[in-house]
Amino acid sequence: MDSILVTGNGPLKGQIPIAGAKNACLTLMPATMLSEEPLTLTNAPRLSDIRTMTTLLQSLGAEVSTLQDGQVLAMSSHDINNHTADYDIVRKMRASILVLGPMLARDGHAVVSLPGGCAIGARPVDLHLKALEALGAQLDLKDGYVHAKAPLGGLKGGVIDFPLVSVGATENALMAATLAKGTTIINNAAREPEIVDLAQCLRKMGAQIEGEGTSTITIQGVDRLHGATHPVVTDRIELGTYMLAPAICGGEVELLGGKRSLIEAFCNKLEAAGVEITENENSLTVRRGDNRVKAVDVVTEPFPGFPTDLQAQMMALMCTAEGTSVLEEKIFENRFMHAPELIRMGAQIDVQGGHATVTGVEGLKGAPVMATDLRASVSLILAGLAAEGETTVSRVYHLDRGYEHVVRKLSSVGAKIERIQEQ
């Protein structure tokens, strides 16, 4: 298992290009199942999760070609010849559940393995299943698999009332409803930019959708969808992560492709902490001089609130802040596993249930630490950039799931960072 060695090296300077969004691409790819015509995604990120989704779609009979150094995904699911998403693939990546809605809507039947446990929380899929039942599907759980059947003539439009906001369940319902007979209304829908991106792509394929980005989405089902080409939206979580690099180390970095509207709540917190953000035509510039960041409180919420996927990285910054901050994690019940690792680097953090109280320290010290999940891994790298001496982050396979070329991107702005291949 590779690890990453980071040595604190002072202020950063330069430009970092931001890739397409993992969490948009992972829902756009299954949308290919909704049509027999080709769907091409441009600006696709080059990540292990995208390769896992590729393997899954290919196992169902779809063709997926990776072009232009991996940034273009040319897909066609003309010949779907297998309707079972196998546990061996699904256990690697929960987003695999997103093939359920499209496959059911397209061919009226699907068998998908339940994703199983996750480091950051229980993460059930009950809302996905309830949404498809509201469209007339019959679902049976057997041997760890969901066996789904549409009524004769296919799924039927219906009203879906989500008791809590779920990104994935909204995506599954939205995709399935595009081919359901009649009108579907999704209430308390997720409003994330990845949902908006999915709706825009589906509309290009001929779907009739209104209200994406709001809490109520209305879909008029159509008989068939056609092919399209669609650019994947910028990755707002990668964007926020790299904005924190000059925030924690000082300096000035321009994030190419960055847009403030994708992470407004996060930008507001960063500015409240004393970091300068400038929006340019097609980038964001982040500056921090010699001033020490100030402690700010954070509560994670569904979009447009503060994203849970930036909580760990924000905690790394708060470890060096002036004063005490409280971070409340409201989305996942077990998403503070980076805290004990940051404490190994000299941070002062007290975790009580869903609240973490961080008392800022003058400086962190490098140490060997271990990544426990995707966002925790990059928060340790950020802390290492600001720490005195060397930090070695192990288990970086977590990182490869959601960040492409971390070492190259951070080195290009002056960070001292390298990947160590295990012998």
What positions carry a catalytic annotation? 118
Nearer to ligand EPZ, 173 or 295 (CB): 173
* Binding residues for ligand EPZ, total number by CB under 6 A: 24
C-alpha span between 262 and 282 (Å, rounded): 13
Task: Work out whether 126 is an interface residue with ligand EPZ (CB under 6 A).
Answer: yes
Task: Judge if the upstream peptide bond of residue 45 is cis by omega within 30 degrees of 0.
Answer: no
Task: Work out whether 329 is an interface residue with ligand EPZ (CB under 6 A).
Answer: no
Binding-site string for ligand EPZ from residue 169 to residue 208, where x marks contact by CB under 6 A and - marks none: x---------------------------------------
Task: Work out whether 128 is an interface residue with ligand EPZ (CB under 6 A).
Answer: yes
Task: Work out whether 311 is an interface residue with ligand EPZ (CB under 6 A).
Answer: no
Task: Work out whether 239 is an interface residue with ligand EPZ (CB under 6 A).
Answer: no
| Smallest distance from ligand EPZ to CB 14, Å | 26
Options 79-87, 123-131, 224-232, 272-280: segment touching ligand EPZ (CB under 6 A):
123-131
Whose CA is closest to 101, among 164, 36, 27? 27
C-alpha span between 71 and 310 (Å, rounded): 24
C-alpha span between 102 and 106 (Å, rounded): 6
Residues 153-172 that bind ligand EPZ (CB under 6 A): 164, 166-169
Task: Work out whether 127 is an interface residue with ligand EPZ (CB under 6 A).
Answer: yes
| Smallest distance from ligand EPZ to CB 130, Å | 8
C-alpha span between 307 and 237 (Å, rounded): 8
| Smallest distance from ligand EPZ to CB 213, Å | 15
Contacts for 162-167 with beta carbons within 8 Å, 24 or more apart? 162/127, 162/131, 162/186, 162/187, 162/188, 162/189, 163/127, 163/188, 164/127, 164/188, 165/189, 165/190, 165/191, 165/302, 166/127, 166/128, 166/190, 167/23, 167/192, 167/194, 167/195, 167/302
Binding-site string for ligand EPZ from residue 63 to residue 102, where x marks contact by CB under 6 A and - marks none: -------------------------------xx-------
Nearer to ligand EPZ, 167 or 245 (CB): 167
Task: Work out whether 379 is an interface residue with ligand EPZ (CB under 6 A).
Answer: no
Rounded to 5 degrees, what angle do the CA atoms 95, 100, 104 make? Answer: 160
Nearer to ligand EPZ, 39 or 160 (CB): 160
* Coil vs helix vs strand at 355: strand
Interface with ligand EPZ by CB under 6 A: which residues? 23, 26, 94-95, 121-128, 164, 166-169, 308-309, 331-332, 374-375, 402
